[in-house]
Amino acid sequence: MSYFTVALLDGAPVATLGPASRELPIAIEGRLDETAPVRLLFRSSRARSIATTLRGVTIPSSDLDNGAPSLAYSGRSFAQTRSSGRIVRVAYIDDDDELSATGILVRLRNAVGPGGPLVQELELLFYPMSAGSALYGPAGSVVDRIPDGTSSGSGS
């Protein structure tokens, strides 16, 4: 893996990490081209700054209602957050394949105490969401909605 990117739905970049290994996840459990959640683990001296960079687009696990997005009969996902968060596009290279998916990043654990690289750790869970899926904010208003096939743009 030589890079890891996070961007908003409109393509505006949030973070481009890499090629330095201290900026890349040390563990990725799952694949973006599947529908199951993907666990991302960063453990390095850069974990603190990565957590700060992604703070505006990640959802704290305690602020995500139902613990995960709900799936409608149409195949769309709906998530409700009580604080910040956005729907993002995550991309990276895995086994020479460029993988990308759209969904939400949930902050599971952020242990970024003082010290060396083994002390600083950031654990995220990425939930892929299909076209037409939406993220609702604290007031029940739509924060982000992934475009579906009937409007311009592509959601996945």
Whole-number pLDDT of residue 155: 41
- What is the rounded average pLDDT for all residues in the chain? 87
97-112/58-60 β-pairing: parallel
What is the pLDDT averaged over residues 14-33?
A: 89
Q: What is the pLDDT of residue 116?
A: 65
pLDDT at res. 5: 95
Q: What is the percent of the chain where pLDDT is above 70?
A: 90
> What CA–CA distance (Å, rounded) separates 77 from 100?
17
**56 closest CA partner among 90, 84, 89:** 84
Q: How far is CA 106 from the centre of its chain?
A: 6
Instruction: Name residue, tokens 């957590």.
Output: 51
Range with the largest mean pLDDT of 31-35, 81-85, 118-122, 151-155: 81-85
CA atoms within 13 A on the CB side of 28: 17
* 96: its two tokens: 């020479």
Contact predicate 47/116, CB 8 Å: no
pLDDT of residue 154: 39
**Is it the case that residue 150 has pLDDT exceeding 60?**
no
